[in-house]
Each structure stands twice: as structure tokens, then as C-alpha cells.
Amino acid sequence: MAQTYLHNAREQTAALKPLRKRRWGGAAPYLFIFPWIFGFVVFTLGPLLFSLIISFFDWPIVGKVTFIGFDNYIEMFTDDPMFWTSLFVTLKFAALFVPLNIIIALGLAMLLNQKVRGSAIFRTAFYLPSVISGVALAMIWSWVYSGDYGILNYFLSLFGIQGPDWLNDTKWSLVAMVVASLWGQGSMMLIFLAGLKGIPKDLYESASIDGAGKIRQFFSVTIPMITPTILFNLITSIIAAFQQLTLALLLTGGGPLKSTYFYAMYMYENAFKYFKMGYSAANAWFMFLIVLVLTFLVFKSSEAWVFYEGEMKKNSRDERKSKKGGQAG
Amino acid sequence: MKKMLTYALLIVFSLLFIAPLFWAVTTALKSQQELYLFPPKWIPSVWKFSNFAEAWNSQPFNLFLKNTVIITALSTLGQLISCTLVAYGFARFQFKGRDFLFLVVLATMMIPWEVTMIPQYMEFNYLGWINTLKPLIVPSWFGSAYYIFLLRQFILTLPRELDEAATIDGASKVTVLFWIIVPLMGPSLILVAVFQVMSCWNDYLGPLIFLNDQTKYTLTLGLSQFKGMYGVDMQSIMAITCLISIPPLAIFFFAQRYIVGGIATTGIKG
């Protein structure tokens, strides 16, 4: 059917031009996007505004609702040590997780980008842990980290190192959490891989003609060309770091001694353990603010380090387009 | 020499990613005595396949499986239908506020779920939906930003002449969508289905927040229950871990081409 239409279409397009304008518009488009509009209002915009409103109330899940102005926010900053603890834990986690995530994902992507046999198999191996559920991942790591029977300490013992009880040692619990999180971050690696494949080959050729070695090429060609991808991954990593909850709930429950008590967990407990909905909404909005500020700062700084050379970008985009066209046809 | 180094690194990293999975599988097959040996044994001397049945029967996992399948199937169907309609609306019509609305679609991807979680909980509580599967299904019928984006990008690559020719022949917009556009959208619809099935199947926080009765539990909740249970052995936990990981792994193997391509598109947008 599509084929015939395509055939007819070619002949008819010319005659169509004046018709086109009239046929657009009206109520039809709004009917098509209506599901999204409805969902947006009911499940996103509404809740977003409502959570801002209840953050100014003492709002238990059952019982009397009282307007208290900024008291939730004031209490958070001045009278709640758990707020500061969880914020600090999360910032520490982010400071470790975000750079490591970027570096490792980029490193793995560069390895996969080499011309080697079986690169698809290696890619699958690297991505495999990202496919399974966070619960499964947590269960596997709780066993890997087990102090007495864990495979990690066995591995270390081969080198004569006595490993700690990772998840029950305040010195190591957060690091253990970072490593377990990094293990399931395969999509970032794939995004980098796509970015690397998009770098035009001739850039490397002309660089090597100019006498640039491999290391020089990495810093003068590869890195500048993938800075847009780095920017994207940086922002998603920051957001992911602030939302880390599943692993904390299942691996450590926030312990030992609150060393892995993430901000998301603090919020979750305020809402669903203590049922302080208003207070938890205030927590959430403060976190949203931090994430927005960080994203804004990253974007602002990106003007200095993200490389969008108009010409070059256009060329590579055209190339991509023609590739896509080829696939579709 | 350089090639050798590349291969060595590739193999070492592959092992780092696969070893914990492999260990999970062999742990699931171990007998009680072999479980707590140090140094641990990679390969159990006797493969106890009965561990799987025992673990499965230690909680009502058949029921959890049923709940998970219902949620996954209905929410995936909802995403496919709603996102197709919305993506078509954004890709093929010119209307007031279109570009702004599409920007809003993209912006919603940046909102952390924690901010909307509490009001959503209260909303569902008000509707009496807490402890039913509805909160995990119904929102999927109203589209999701990322999928709308993916499908819209795909529809934009289809020649507009197709629609126009059909319209000339008297086809309505709905007919065009379902008889011309949808049949050509195969790969991108598969991608959306695959992503949605996987994220639904693997979801933990949604069920954790919205379900509290064991009869409504999903597989991931069932697995997480082991954590606090007294006297549950590691091999049971690993057996369930392995069993519930089979569907996403299988889907990944069959749809790998789509998934890798789809994730790559995400990056290009950035």
C-alpha cells in the first residue's frame, strides 16, 4: 500500500502545494497530542505545583493540615542534622561517581571503538549488567561485597590483602556504593561510542600528517569533538547521582552510621516512613533547586569548553543525515 | 603489540563486568555446604537445580509474576498507542504553540521524579488507587517524553508525500496514521516496546511506593523481600535474581541492534 502511495505521490506533489496549507491546523493536531497534554497536567505539572504548595504546610498523610509558611525550609536548614548528613553524603557520592562515570564510560567506549575482531561481543559484555534490575544488581553486589564469603575479598586475598567488610565499614561503604553504581552504567558508554563514531576520519588523518601522535590526537581531536556528548553525560550523571535510592535501600539501608544515607533516601523516609508530606516536598524542592543550579552552572561553563565549530558540526550532521537516509531507503 | 594491549584490556574489562553475573549463577546452583566455603568455589561440585524451585516456592512468586506481566503488558500497550498518537501530532501538523509544547515535552525529562512523587502518591491515594496496579499502568497511557521524542524523530524521516497522496485519495488523518505511518514505524515501535518492557519489568521504586499488600507485589519487590527475611539463604536470593533477570537479558540479546541504536540517538540530541 505504502509503495503505491509513494508512486502516486511523486506525480501529485506538484499539484498539492496550495492544498497543503488548508489541510493543516484546526482542532485535529490538538486531539492527537491530547493524551500527552492531559498526562502532563495530571501527572507532571499538577503534582509539581502541588508539591510546591504543600511544602509550605504541615501536611501529614492523615490529620490536620496547617499552613506554616517557610517553617519546613527553616527547620530543614537549622534544626535537622539528618538533612545536612544526607546532603553531604550525596555530594560526596556525586563527587566520586560523576567524574569516574564519565572517565570509565569514555575509556570503555574508546576501547570498543578500536578496530578489533569481536567488538560486538565485548560491547555486549560491557553492557550486560545495565540490562538487569537494580534490585538484582543490589543482590549480586551484596554477595560480592560479603566480608567473609565475598568474591571480592577472595580476589584480594590472592594478593595477600585482607579486605574489609565493605558494606559494614564506614570507610568503605560509600566507595562500595559508587563501584556498584558504575557497574550498571552501560548506556553512557554507548552514547560515547556513538559520539566517537561520529568524528570524521579525515580529522585524524590530517592531524597525523601534521605530525600529531596518538596522545596529541586524543587531546586535540577526540576530546574537543565529543565535548557535546560529555556535556550531555555530565548532566545526566549529576541527576542520576542525586536520585540514587535503590542501591542504598537494598545494600545498606543508609548505614553503617548513616555513611550511605543519601538525600533521596532522607526524602523517601520523611514521606513514607514518617508521613511528613509537606516536609518531604520541601526537601524535594530544595534538591530540585540544587540540580537546576548545578545544571545551569554546567551549561554556563560549557560555553568555555564545549566545542561547536559551526562548519564542522554541519558537515558531520549532513553526513549523519545521508547515512540515515541510506538506511531508510 | 598495541593490538595485544587492546585485546588484553577488552578481556579484563569483560571479565569485570561478567564475573559477578557468573558468580550469581553458580551461587544459585550451590548446595548449602558449598555456599559458605572460603576460598569460594566458582563451579559447584554438584549442580542443585532444585534450588530454583525451592526459592520460587518460598514466596508466592507465581502471583508476583502474574502482577508483573499484567503491569508490563498493559503499560507497554499504553505507551505504544499514546506515544504514537502524540508523536504523529507533533511531527505532521503545524499548529499554534507546537514548538513551545515540544520544548515542554523535552523539559519534562529533566524533572526529578522525587519532586512529583509525593503529590502523585496523594493523588492516587485520593482516587483509592494505592495498593492496586493502576498507578503503575494508567500514567503510561498518556505518553512519555523520551518515547514521544524518539517516535517523532522517526516519523520526521518518512517522506511527507506519502501522507499527502493518501489525503488526496480521501483518507483521513487517522487513516493515514494507522495505514501509512504505523506500518513503516516498525523498528522505532519495537525500540519503544523494548525500553518500556525492560524498565517496567525492572522497576522497583514504583511498586515499592504504590503497593503494600503482598498479593499485589511484583517480582522485584518479592526479591527485595528476601533481604529482611530470617533464614533465607544466599542461593535462594541468587536463584530468584537469576530467574527474574532472564527476560530482560533475552530481550537484550534479540533486540540488541535496536537498543544500541536507540541509545545512541539519545546522545546525538545532547
pLDDT tens figures, A236-254: 899 889 988 999 999 988 8
Q: Which of B260, B132, B227, B91 is nearest to A136 (CA)?
A: B227
Identify the CA nearest to B120 among candidates B231, B202, B253, B209: B209
The pLDDT confidence band at residue B161, using thresholds 50, 70 and 90, is: confident
Q: How far is CA A130 from CA A59, A238, B249, B254, in A?
A: 38, 18, 10, 16
Q: In chain B, what residues touch A139 (CB-CB under 8 Å)? A: 24, 223, 226-227, 237-238, 241
> How far is B205 from chain A, CA to nearest CA, in Å?
7
In whole angstroms, give the CA distance from residue B199 to residue B222. 17
d(CA B178, CA A300) in angstroms, rounded, equals 44
Which of A19, A43, A129 has its CB closest to that of B17? Answer: A129
**Residue A313: helix, strand or coil by DSSP?**
helix
Show residues of chain A in contact with B162, CB under 8 Å: 2, 5-6, 9
> In the prediction, which pLDDT does A110 show?
92
Using CB atoms, pick whichever of A116, A149, A267 lies closest to residue B10.
A116
Residue A260 Cα distances to A88, A93, B193, B220, angstroms: 10, 9, 35, 22
Residue A175 has a pLDDT of 95
Name which of A126, A196, A193 is nearest B12 in CA terms: A126
Is residue B3 within 8 angstroms of chain A, CB to CB? yes
A262: which residues sit within 8 A by CB, 6+ positions away?
Answer: A86, A89, A90, A93, A244, A245, A248, A254
Burial B24-61 (b: 16+ CB within 10 A, else e): bebbbbbeeebbeeeebeeebeeebeebbeebbebbeb
Confidence class of residue A132 from pLDDT cuts 50, 70 and 90?
very high
Q: Residue A308: what pLDDT?
A: 73
Which three-class secondary structure state does DSSP give residue A146?
Answer: coil
Whether omega for the bond prior to residue A256 falls within 30 degrees of 0, making it cis, is yes
Residues of A in contact with B9 (CB under 8 A): 111
Q: Give the tens place of pLDDT for each residue, B1-58.
A: 778 899 999 999 999 999 999 999 999 998 888 888 777 888 888 888 999 999 999 8
pLDDT tens, position by position, A187-230? 899 889 988 988 888 888 889 888 888 888 888 889 888 998 89
Contacts of A190 in chain B (CB under 8 A): 260, 263-264, 267
Predicted confidence (pLDDT) at residue A324 exceeds the cutoff of 70: no
Cell digits for A159? 594478593
A43 and B249: CB-CB below 8 Å? Answer: no
Of A31, A108, A235, which has the smallest distance from its Cβ to B13's Cβ?
Answer: A108
Q: What percent of chain B clears pLDDT 90, i.e. is strictly above it?
A: 57
Q: A8 pLDDT exceeds 80?
A: no
CA distance to A101, A193, B200, B207, per residue, from A104 (Å): 5, 12, 28, 32
> Cβ separation of B266 and A187 shorter than 8 Å?
yes
How many Cβ atoms sit within 10 Å of the Cβ of residue B246? 10
| d(CA A171, nearest CA chain B) in Å | 23
Mutate to test the interface with B, among A20, A30, A126, A133 (most CBs of B within 10 A): A133
Is the pTM higher than 0.80? The answer reads yes
Separation of alpha carbons A163 and A145, rounded Å = 9
Q: What is the pLDDT of residues B209-231, one digit of tens each?
A: 999 999 999 999 999 998 877 76
- Residue B43, CB half-sphere, CA atoms under 13 Å: how many? 1
Residue B46 to chain A, least CA–CA distance (Å): 19
Nearest to A154 among B39, B98, B101 (CB): B39
The pLDDT assigned to B76 comes to 97
Residue A10, Ramachandran bin (φ over 0: left; ψ between -120 and 50: alpha; else beta): alpha
Angle at the Cα of B24 from the Cα atoms of B44 and B59, rounded to 5 degrees: 100
- At A131, the amino acid letter reads V
Put simply, the chain B residues between 22 and 51 with a CB less than 8 A from any chain A CB are 23-24, 27, 35-40
Q: How many angstroms separate the CA atoms of B139 and A36, rounded?
A: 10
Can you tell me the distance from the alpha carbon of A249 to that of A135, in angstroms, rounded to the nearest whole number? Answer: 10
Contacts of A191 in chain B (CB under 8 A): 263-264, 266-267, 270
B205 contact residues in A (CB cutoff 8 A): 245-246
φ/ψ (deg, to 5) at B240: -70, -40
Name the average pLDDT for chain B.
Answer: 89
